[in-house]
Structure 1
Amino acid sequence: MPAYAPPGWPREVLPPDAPDWEASAVKWFLDLCPPEYRRYEGLRRHPVVLARFAVVHVEADQAAVKRGLSSVRVDLRDYCTPPVVEAAAQTFLLEDARLTGVRRAVGLVEEALRGRRYRPRL
């Protein structure tokens, strides 16, 4: 069966079992994570470890966005006009939606690095 990537798989990462797919996953994770992660040889050499770091990083971003959304209207109401405050809240909502997709993608790649293989559903 040819390599298959499920819905939500990142475009930047080759499907599992394609030639060099793990290298493409490492590159994508390093692009996704803080630049400091490139300094750590253990992360670059062990894709499963890097995947776990990426999951934790994305989940922390999600928590930060949720915290920001929960307080943005109160935090900014004395400093910005209502339309600006609402635009900030909408930006948090957009970022939350983006991060939801990123979290799914990171999880799919992590599972594949741990040995899971996906098959197309009919």
Structure 2
Amino acid sequence: MAWLLDAGPPEWRQLDALRRHPIALAHKAALYVQGAVEAARTGYRQATRELTHHLPPDAIHAVLDAYRIEGPRLIALAQSIEVVEQALRGHPFTPTLRGGGRTGAGPPPPSAA
């Protein structure tokens, strides 16, 4: 459960309820990280407008690059937490292929004709 505790602020480690109830921890972590995803999206959308008069263009590009790196990391973390939460709730895990790529296994997709 340390991994889920790491997804939130350090203060969570002091909360007995979260350490004793992994489902509660997973639920809280999911909400917390989803909030971070939304904050990163908002920050990315607003960075240029909000920072133009305070930072040089190269710094704004660096800030946008930081959001481009952080966004996918946060989304992957949110997805991982969701899988863990579902497992803790007793839901079976069903692996899926992401990104639309084919692995070469199985029959080809149906024709769009």
The interval holding the TM-score normalised by the smaller chain is 0.7 to 0.9
1:40 has 2:40 as partner: no
1:78 has 2:78 as partner: no
Higher relative contact order (CA 8 A, sep 6+): 1
| Residue number in structure 1 paired with 2:102 | none
Q: By how many angstroms is 1:117 displaced?
A: 2.7
Q: Name the CA distance, whole Å, in 1 between partners of 2:95 and 2:55.
A: 49
Q: By how many angstroms is 1:27 displaced?
A: 1.2
| Residue number in structure 1 paired with 2:73 | 98
How many residues were matched structurally?
A: 97
Q: Name the CA distance, whole Å, in 1 between partners of 2:94 and 2:64.
A: 39
Q: Name the CA distance, whole Å, in 2 between partners of 1:80 and 1:36.
A: 33
1:108 has 2:95 as partner: no
* Closer/same/farther in 2, CA of residues 96 and 116 from structure 1, 3 Å limit: same
Give ranges in structure 2 of 5+ residues lacking alignment.
97-104, 106-113
Give ranges in structure 1 of 5+ residues lacking alignment.
1-25
TM-score of the two chains, using structure 1 as the length reference: 0.73
TM-score of the two chains, using structure 2 as the length reference: 0.79
| Identical aligned residues as a percent | 32
CA deviation map 1:83-122 (0-9, x unaligned)? 2111111211211111110011000000000012336687
| Residue number in structure 1 paired with 2:39 | 64
Q: By how many angstroms is 1:56 displaced?
A: 0.5
RMSD (Å), alpha carbons: 1.6
Q: Name the CA distance, whole Å, in 1 between partners of 2:54 and 2:17.
A: 45
Q: Name the CA distance, whole Å, in 2 between partners of 1:83 and 1:30.
A: 35
Looking at CA atoms only, which structure, 1 or 2, has the larger radius of gyration? Answer: 2
